[in-house]
Amino acid sequence: MTSLQTKIVEAFLAQLASSPDVDAAQVEQLGGLLAENKNPRPDDLVKIFSLPVDAPIE
Amino acid sequence: MIKLESAHIEEMRGIRKLNLDFRRQTFVISGPNGSGKSGVIDAIEFGLTGAIGRLTGSGTKGISVSEHGPHVDKTRFPDAAFVKLKVFLPELGKSATITRKVNSPRNPIVEPPDVDIQAALGQIADHPEVTLSRRDIIRFILVEPTKRSDEIQSLLKLTRLGQIRSALNTAQNKLQGAARAASAQASSSRETLRLHLQTPAISPESLLAAVNKQRNVLTLLPIEELTADTALDSGLSDTATRPAFFNKESAFSDLRALTQATQVLSEFAAAEVAAVVADLTKLEADPALLAALQRRSFIEKGLVLVDGPACPLCDTSWENEQHLREHLRAKLAKSVEAQELQDSLLRTGMAIAERVIRLGDTVTPVQKLAEAEGEDTFSKALTAWRSGLEELKATLVTADGLMALKDRLTGNWLQAPEMLAEKLRMLAEKVAARPDQAATVHAHTFLTTAQVRLSDYREALKREKAAKHASTSAKTAYDVYCRVLEGELNALYEEVQDDFCIFYRLLNEDDESRFTAKLTPSEGQLDLKVNFYDRGLFPPGAYHSEGHQDGMGVCLYFALMKRLFGNAFSFALLDDVVMSVDAGHRYQFCKLLKTNFPETQFIITTHDRLWAEQMKSAGVVSGRTSVVFNGWTIDTGPVIESNKEIWEDIDAALAKGKVEAAAAALRHHLEYVSRHLADQLGATPAFRADGNYELGDLLPSVLSRMKKLYGVAAAAAQSWGSLSDMSVIGQRKAALSADAGASNVEQWAVNKAVHYNEWANFGRTDFAPVVAAFRALLAHFRCDSCDSWIYVTPKRGAAESLRCSCSRINVNLKQKAT
Q: Is B161 on the interface with A (CB under 8 A)?
A: yes
Predicted confidence (pLDDT) per residue in B381-434, tens digit: 999 999 998 888 878 877 778 888 888 888 888 888 988 889 999 999 988 887
Amino acid at B76: R
In chain B, the largest separation of any two C-alpha atoms, in whole Å, equals: 191
Are residues B585 and B507 in contact, defined by beta-carbon separation less than 8 angstroms? yes
Check residue B672 and give its pLDDT: 75
Distance, in angstroms, between A24 CA and closest chain B CA? 11
Helix axes B37-49, B115-125, angle to 10 degrees: 130
Nearest CA in chain B to A27: B477
- Flag whether pLDDT at B246 surpasses 70: no
Check residue B747 and give its pLDDT: 65
For A:13-42, CB contacts with B below 8 A are 15-16, 19, 21-23, 26, 30, 34, 39-42
Check residue B387 and give its pLDDT: 92
E-strand ranges in B493-559 read 517-522, 525-531, 537-538
Exposure string of B88-116, with b = 16+ CB inside 10 Å and e = fewer, is bbbeeeebbbbebbbeebeebebeeeeee
Check residue B496 and give its pLDDT: 87
Are residues B777 and B699 in contact, defined by beta-carbon separation less than 8 angstroms? no
**3 state DSSP class of B788:** coil
- How far does CA B357 lie from the centroid of its chain? 82
B474 vs A46: CB contact, 8 Å cut-off?
yes
Predicted confidence (pLDDT) per residue in B552-605, tens digit: 888 888 888 888 787 888 888 888 886 667 767 888 889 899 999 999 999 999
- Flag whether pLDDT at B85 surpasses 90: yes
Most confident of B140-154, B448-462, B639-653, B735-749: B448-462
Cα–Cα distance measured from residue B628 to residue B30, given in angstroms and rounded to the nearest whole number: 5
Residue A28: pLDDT band by 50, 70, 90 thresholds?
very high
Q: What is the mean pLDDT of residues B305-319?
A: 81
Judging contacts by C-beta atoms under 8 Å, the chain A residues touching residue B172 are 49
Least confident of B323-337, B676-690, B739-753, B766-780: B739-753
Check residue B127 and give its pLDDT: 74
Check residue B138 and give its pLDDT: 64
Cα–Cα distance measured from residue B732 to residue B707, given in angstroms and rounded to the nearest whole number: 9
Query: Which of B2, B484, B571 to mutate to test binding with chain A, by most A CBs within 10 Å of its CB?
Result: B484
Pairing of strands B601-606, B27-30: parallel
Predicted confidence (pLDDT) per residue in B313-328, tens digit: 888 888 888 888 888 8
Nearest CA in chain B to A11: B484
Dihedral angle sign, alpha carbons of residues B425, B426, B431, B434: positive
Q: What is the mean pLDDT of residues B332-355?
A: 81
- Flag whether pLDDT at B682 surpasses 80: yes
Predicted confidence (pLDDT) per residue in B787-814, tens digit: 778 999 887 788 999 998 778 899 999 9
Are residues B56 and B69 in contact, defined by beta-carbon separation less than 8 angstroms? no
Out of A7, A44, A49, closest to residue B470 by CB: A49
Q: Residue B126 CB: number of other CB atoms within 10 A? A: 10
Cα–Cα distance measured from residue B582 to residue B513, given in angstroms and rounded to the nearest whole number: 17
The pTM of the full predicted model, rounded to 2 decimals, is: 0.52
Residue B731: pLDDT band by 50, 70, 90 thresholds?
very high
The whole-chain average pLDDT of chain B stands at: 84
Cα–Cα distance measured from residue B324 to residue B185, given in angstroms and rounded to the nearest whole number: 91
- Candidates B269, B245, B250, B255; CA nearest to B382 is B255
Percent of chain B, pLDDT > 70? Answer: 91
ipTM of this complex prediction, to 2 decimal places = 0.93
Does residue B112 have a cis bond before it (omega within 30 degrees)? Answer: yes
Judging contacts by C-beta atoms under 8 Å, the chain A residues touching residue B568 are 1
Q: Any residues with CB less than 8 A from the CB of B182 and at least 6 apart, and which?
A: B460, B463, B464, B466, B467, B468
Q: Any residues with CB less than 8 A from the CB of B266 and at least 6 apart, and which?
A: none
Q: Is B231 on the interface with A (CB under 8 A)?
A: no
- Flag whether pLDDT at A57 surpasses 50: no
Q: Is A5 on the interface with B (CB under 8 A)?
A: yes
Q: Any residues with CB less than 8 A from the CB of B619 and at least 6 apart, and which?
A: B590, B594, B786, B788, B805, B806
Angle at B203 between CA B198 and CA B208, to 5 degrees: 70
Predicted confidence (pLDDT) per residue in B20-31, tens digit: 889 899 999 988
- Candidates B228, B91, B20, B80; CA nearest to B571 is B91
Q: Residue B644 CB: number of other CB atoms within 10 A? A: 15
- Flag whether pLDDT at B245 surpasses 70: no
- Flag whether pLDDT at B756 surpasses 90: no
Residue B468: pLDDT band by 50, 70, 90 thresholds?
very high
- Flag whether pLDDT at B522 surpasses 80: no
- Flag whether pLDDT at B57 surpasses 90: no
- Flag whether pLDDT at B643 surpasses 60: no
- How far does CA B38 lie from the centroid of its chain? 36
Dihedral angle sign, alpha carbons of residues B458, B460, B464, B470: positive
Q: Is A4 on the interface with B (CB under 8 A)?
A: yes
Are residues B581 and B550 in contact, defined by beta-carbon separation less than 8 angstroms? yes
Distance, in angstroms, between B116 CA and closest chain A CA? 14
A12 vs B174: CB contact, 8 Å cut-off?
no
Check residue A58 and give its pLDDT: 34
Higher-confidence position of B278 and B667: B278
Residue A56: pLDDT band by 50, 70, 90 thresholds?
very low
Cα–Cα distance measured from residue B312 to residue B370, given in angstroms and rounded to the nearest whole number: 51
Check residue B137 and give its pLDDT: 65
**3 state DSSP class of B63:** coil
Element at B633 (helix H, strand E) = strand B626-633
Check residue B492 and give its pLDDT: 83
Most confident of B162-166, B219-223, B302-306, B671-675: B219-223
